[in-house]
Amino acid sequence: MHYFSTNRKSPATSFRDAVLAGQPDDKGLYFPSEIPKLEPDFVERLHAIDNEQIAFDVIRPYVAGEIPDDDLFEICSETVNFDFPLVEITDRISTLELFHGPTLAFKDVGARFMSRCLRHFSSDRSEKTVVIVATSGDTGGAVAAGFHGVEGIEVVILYPKGKVSKVQELQLTTLGGNVTTLELRGTFDDCQMLAKQALADPDLRTRVHMTSANSINVARWLPQQFYYFYALKQWAGESPVISVPSGNFGNLASGILANISGLPVAKFIAACNANDVVPRFMQTADYEPRPSVATLSNAMDVGAPSNFVRILEIFDNKFVDLKERLEAVSVSDETTASTMREIYSQCNYLLDPHGAVGYRALADHLQTHPEQRGIVLETAHPVKFDSVNEIIGTQVDMPASVRELYSREKRSTEIGIDYAAVREIIESKI
């Protein structure tokens, strides 16, 4: 297995070097040279296979022997050592809860896997590795927790000032140590632009070893397949429709990859908020990124989703084939809030704003497809979002891990949209 750039100007490379580089020199994204196929009876046996074994079997072809099997199995075990329950909300809709990890968000899976891969690959390197991540909410917290205290690794996080929730900000800014947090006066797209600029800076790359911990990194992106398998492990009946709250589109891209490998899924729904570049694309076949707008589902406030190019790559840029497997919808903040109130009142289930976008997209789809049932990914715990209490009219129970955050000191550096300032901070980590 090797990895090529979606821009096809950089040379192909190994899994190890793709992880260490983060992004190709030509500013594309790494993509596997082939999509492995599951053994014919693998899905039939899912219910009897431990989660760590599923993770190992799914990821092993992508690693291609660059991590010894025993070490890779240990990495997988540490990555998925928490629950992924499939919870029935109605007789036709269930939710896969992905918020039982250390930072209460689905990003924990990719961040934990990547941090352990990078620890393995960095063990024979004398120089430090600087991990750069732009975040619209949950990514930064998961990366900070995954890499905090890892020897030989420095983490630089960029997040948009005033555009993440209080809990998300505390997870981003209270660790210190080898984690440096930059509070940017701008949008997530600005954060992502600066991170990509640093990764592509030829002069900086000669003096600092850098990689990305956003889902542009294959070690962050590929393991997100795991929980789609965990969903099907707990599912009974015909292949489900799966609705994925979508921002930067790494999560959905990994689910489609699992489907192409052989995981049975009837259809995927890209559930978006007002940042509707992909829903518009699915209607017109014209891809037109726009500046992001702020919404209740802030982690999805992405105007130029990086990983959508990987979805196009999976389908060899054939729009007709993509249209068969994917539909995309945009859900307003008003509808998001009303969905949260409706499901809490009628089903006694508390959705976060991102899960509510996914739920509404799925429920609307099922209204016109009465023969189908589906799964929505609940990507983060409701306590992480300031809006939930106000929308629902009741106080969300606060886990002990969140209460503890409020006793910590905030540590961040506020900057403008200034690459020189970002570069100076990165250079200081040498």
User: In one letter, which amino acid is 389?
Assistant: N
CB 413 within 8 A of CB 157: no
Residue 13 φ then ψ, to 5°:
-145, 180
Query: Any idea what the Cα angle at residue 263 is, between residues 284 and 347, rounded to 5°?
Result: 80
Distances (CA, A) of 411 to 111, 141, 172, 174, 407: 21, 13, 9, 6, 13
Please choose, from the candidates 93, 64, 24, 28, the residue with its C-alpha nearest in 3D space to the C-alpha of residue 313. Answer: 28
Tokens in use for 386? 């300031």
The CB density around residue 246, as the number of other CB atoms within 10 Å, is 34
Query: Any idea what the Cα angle at residue 35 is, between residues 250 and 214, rounded to 5°?
Result: 25
The yes-or-no answer on residue 323 being catalytic is no
Place of tokens 């990895």: 3
Half-sphere exposure of 158 (CA within 13 A, CB side): 32
Please choose, from the candidates 124, 337, 119, the residue with its C-alpha nearest in 3D space to the C-alpha of residue 213. Answer: 119
- Residue of 107, 163, 196, 267 marked active site: 107
Tokens in use for 231? 């969903």
Tokens in use for 329? 């919808």
179-184 sheet: strands from edge to edge:
209-212, 129-134, 153-160, 179-184, 413-415
Place of tokens 């060899």: 316
Place of tokens 């030989």: 152
**Residue ranges of the alpha helices (H) in 125-264?**
138-147, 166-173, 188-199, 202-207, 218-221, 226-233, 250-261
Dihedral sign computed on CA atoms, order 153, 154, 160, 162: positive
Interatomic CA distance for residues 272 and 298, integer angstroms: 11
| Residues noted as catalytic | 107
